[in-house]
Amino acid sequence: MATGNSVDVVSGPEAKSGDIEDTIAEDQDPSAEVSYKRQSLSDLFTIFASGFALISDGYQNNLMTMSNVLLKKEYPDQFTTAVSTRVSNALLVGEVIGQVVIGLTCDYLGRKTAIIFTTLMIVIGGILATASNGVTVDGMFWMMTVARGIVGFGTGGEYPASSTSASESANELVPKHRGPAFILVTNFPLAFGGPFAVSVFLIVLVACGQAHYSTVWRVCFGIGCIWPLSIFYFRIRMLNSTLYRRGAIKRHVPYLLVLRYYWKSLIGTCGAWFLYDFVTFPNGVFSATIISSVVDSGTILQTGEWQLLLGAIALPGVFLGAVLCDRVGRKNVMMMGFSGYLVFGLIIGCSYDKITKIVPLFIVLYGFMQSSGNFGPGNMLGLISSESYATGVRGTCYGLSAAVGKAGAAIGTQAFQPIENRLGKNWTFIIAAICGVVGILVTYFFVPDLTGEDLRVRDEKFRAYLVSKGWDEPMGEDDLKAKADQGILSGAVNQIEVVNNTDAIR
């Protein structure tokens, strides 16, 4: 057996699945140029920095929740439904573009380069949003729209860049607990960003004496720049993961082969993410608007307090999903989460007029619906998307899946208020229940049933598949670069039946 960049291929009847993992265990050193200690320290900081950065993404995603209510109070004539939807959707459109572009970037140029760029975009966009102005009020809202789009590009890019980095780093540090660790540094910060944004808003609102609305939303926008800046130093100092430096494909990416190999998984992650974001984002962005319509004669402060409770109720689902993902299985947990949309969506939607008369009951049920989303698809989509695809195309496939999800969020946000106006507010919850049913079906038929195995195993299966199809280009970065067929681990070719049966490897 060779060491360093290449490993001899052993085929034949004696090749077993365990051979791959045994070979991997002997090939742990990052490289001759990067010490194990330095790589481990970088992996540790990458995980924590990813978690902290994604708090800022969750903050930005939820910033318009209370800002929509406040801007409507400050500009009752100018901040129309169309303007509110446009400003809210700007972030989502930016995220779609960012997820696709940065997904490609973090595969071609490296995780570190992509992460630094997304951080800068969030800060620049946040500064412009804080300084939003214009000759007219409508001009100010257009500047806010563009600025929020720039922020969205950065936060969208954080999904593939930070999440793939966190997954690969966790695979090195805590391989047996990669799933829970990944969830706690990705979806938990994103979910925590909701109540965090509301808390900041309430503090600033009270500090301004529940007046000076322009100061409130500008300060909240400005605070959003602090979080990515606070970890910028650690991101500059980070290293690309060992997995990336072994498995990167920086030129001649065989996209057709990637599509043939991963088509089923892509339908599953893209379709499920579309349905999840179609429900989650409009219900998040407009939840304060819904609450303000339910609370009779409620002030902005009261609406914010109910919104904070709603966000807090949604958090336990994240922890429960993290605990059960290894025990119950990623796929099963995701279907259980979509079932929550069905149950609570129907309860709220079919008895909306009665439930909304009891505000605490409405908030609790609404919170349970959002908590089930966090428990299932919210936790599992990022985890499954980071584990389903090989390192060389992980950012691209993850970014594409997340981008399709954000397209669903943009469509859902655009359709939310027309649905309310034409069908009634209860139908937003009934449609959530319908999406839950479709989500269960998509997950069952298309999402791979993953076991949490070492990501190197999937890398070598994919590498062997490419070689079997005649692709033999360099993979990895300079210190770990090798031809594709030099990196195939012991027994990989035999174990995956590379001749035609690509379904077996899923």
Q: How many domains does the chain contain in total? A: 1
Mean pLDDT of the chain: 83
pLDDT score for 487: 60
Q: 126: which residues sit within 8 A by CB, 6+ positions away?
A: 60, 147, 151, 221, 222, 224, 225
Residue 186: inside a domain: yes
* 499 belongs to a structural domain: no
Residue 29 within any structural domain of the chain = no
DSSP conformation class of 286: T
Q: At what angle do helices 426-446 and 255-285 cross, to 10 degrees?
A: 160
Classify residue 336: in a domain, yes or no.
Answer: yes
**Residue (of 400, 430, 445, 413) closest to 156 by Cα position:** 400
Q: Is the pTM of this model over 0.85?
A: no
Tell me the residue range of the domain where 326 lies: 36-457
In 3D space, the residue among 317, 349, 346, 350 whose CA is nearest the CA of residue 334 turns out to be 317
**20 in a domain, yes or no?**
no
Instruction: Measure the CA–CA gap between 132 and 129, rounded to whole angstroms.
Output: 5
Answer yes or no: is 280 within a domain: yes
User: Quick check: is 106 in a domain?
Assistant: yes
| CATH assignment at residue 423 | 1.20.1250.20
| pLDDT per residue as tens digits for the range 428-477 | 889 999 999 999 999 999 998 887 788 888 889 999 999 999 888 888 77
Write down the pLDDT at residue 145. 94
User: What is the tens place of the pLDDT at every residue in 247-275?
Assistant: 888 888 899 999 999 999 999 999 999 99
- 297 band by pLDDT with thresholds 50, 70 and 90: low
Helix, strand, or coil (residue 475): strand
- Residue 68's pLDDT is 83
Q: Is residue 466 part of a domain?
A: no
Average pLDDT in the 384-402 region? 93
